[in-house]
C-alpha cells in the first residue's frame, strides 16, 4: 500500500509551465505538441506575441528558439 501512495503522490506533482518562442509558428507548435505528450503544461507563440503571453501568465521555463545559418561563400 505504501508504494501506491508514493506513485499517486509522484503523478500528482505539477509539471512546469513552459513557453516556447520561435520565429516560425509551425516549429513552436511542433515543440508544444511534443512537450504536451510528455505531460507538460506548454504554450507556444511567435516572437511578436511573447510580450502578451508574458504579461498575462507566469511561466516556469521559457525556451527561445533561434537558428543562425551562415551563408557559405
Domains of the chain are 11-63 (3.40.50.2300)
Alpha carbons 49 and 47: distance in angstroms, whole number? 6
pLDDT at 70 (0 to 100): 67
Alpha carbons 64 and 24: distance in angstroms, whole number? 11
Contact between residue 20 and residue 63 where contact means Cβ atoms under 8 Å apart? yes
Alpha carbons 10 and 29: distance in angstroms, whole number? 28
pLDDT at 65 (0 to 100): 84
Instruction: Give pLDDT tens digits for 14-65.
Output: 889 999 999 889 999 999 999 999 999 999 999 888 999 999 999 999 999 8
Amino acid at each position: 500500500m505504501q508504494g501506491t501512495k508514493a506513485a499517486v503522490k509522484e503523478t500528482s506533482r505539477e509539471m512546469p509551465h513552459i513557453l516556447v518562442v520561435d520565429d516560425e509558428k509551425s516549429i513552436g507548435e511542433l515543440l508544444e505538441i511534443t512537450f504536451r505528450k510528455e505531460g507538460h503544461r506548454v504554450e507556444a507563440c511567435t516572437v511578436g506575441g511573447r510580450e502578451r503571453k508574458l504579461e498575462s501568465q507566469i511561466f516556469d521555463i521559457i525556451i527561445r528558439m533561434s537558428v543562425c545559418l551562415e551563408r557559405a561563400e
